[in-house]
Amino acid sequence: MKIIASTFLVFGFMTASAQNAVMEINYETKIIQDSINKNQINIYTSTLLCNTLESSYYSREAKAFYSRNSKATNTISTNYGAIAKYPKSVGSVYKSRNSLSVSMPVGRYIFTYEEPDLTWEILNEIKDIKGFKSRLAKTTTDTGQTFYAWFTDDIAIPDGPFRFKGLSGLVLEVYNKNRTIEIYATGIKKSEEIIEPLNYTADIKTKSKKQFLEARKTYQENPAVYNGNMRVFDEHGNERTKNMTDRVKSMNTFLD
């Protein structure tokens, strides 16, 4: 793997256009969304397509879901009839030079906003990850969360999963202070895929991240506001709306 990565560094950056990736990194994310109930873990996979200037981070499942040519194979029963079942993760991040655009769900809606840069502190710890010499860095986000990231200068791309970018090398692992959020690189390979933002077709473009945070807070307090008073039923016709509402209200861990 290290030989392949070195090849990217020597040849890939020289030949790829600004719209094409030179690398694909797959990540697994684990989130305990209710820190009181640590047995319930949300696990999903995401893909980072990147070169030195641009990147796109999303789940393949979400990209297929929002594709205009896709046909829903899994549905859920609601008072509006059967609707397509949402992927485990629908959020995405698109980076273009110095601009970082994040799209995150609030109920049935997608909010898109500009994410502020992170300021990193390089720590002394060093370890090997997948054959790459990696260093540890620390940051505190604009929402007050402390995160740690393992990155490698062996792959000199200042990118990583979600908003964790801006270091001197590729981020391979990320976790928050109390380990309710963990992100790990599971695979690295060469890619020439087009780098482009996920096309939601009807996302809400906010003027600031603050608008997204306020909408999410409102949704937690009253999930019906951003779900159009939708009621959900199981395969036997039993209503499960309260279960969904209780789960939303119990969330206290967020990747933002």
Query: What contacts 45, CB < 8 A, 6 or more positions away?
Result: 26, 27, 28, 29, 59, 60, 186
pLDDT tens digits for range 50-74: 999 999 999 999 998 888 655 555 6
Q: Which residue has the higher pLDDT, 9 or 197?
A: 197
Q: Looking at residue 227, what is its pLDDT? A: 67
pLDDT tens digits for range 111-136: 999 999 999 999 999 999 999 999 99
CA 169, CA 26: separation in Å to the nearest integer?
A: 16
3-state class (DSSP) for residue 210: helix
Q: Which of 8-12, 125-129, 153-157 has the lowest mean pLDDT?
A: 8-12
Parse the chain into domains and list their residue ranges: 2-250
Number of neighbouring beta carbons within 10 Å of residue 194: 11
**Confidence category of residue 40, pLDDT binned at 50, 70, 90:** confident
Q: Residue 205: is its pLDDT beyond 80?
A: yes
Computed from CA positions of residues 104, 106, 110, 111, in that sequence, does the dihedral angle turn out positive or negative?
A: negative
What's the mean pLDDT in 142-153?
Answer: 97
Alpha helices in the chain (DSSP H): 2-7, 13-15, 60-66, 209-221, 241-250
Q: Looking at residue 34, what is its pLDDT? A: 72
**Confidence category of residue 83, pLDDT binned at 50, 70, 90:** low
Q: Looking at residue 245, what is its pLDDT? A: 67
Q: Looking at residue 7, what is its pLDDT? A: 40
Q: Residue 82: is its pLDDT beyond 90?
A: no
Q: Residue 236: is its pLDDT beyond 90?
A: no
- Yes or no: say if 209 and 115 are a contact pair by the CB < 8 Å rule: yes
What's the mean pLDDT in 24-45?
Answer: 87
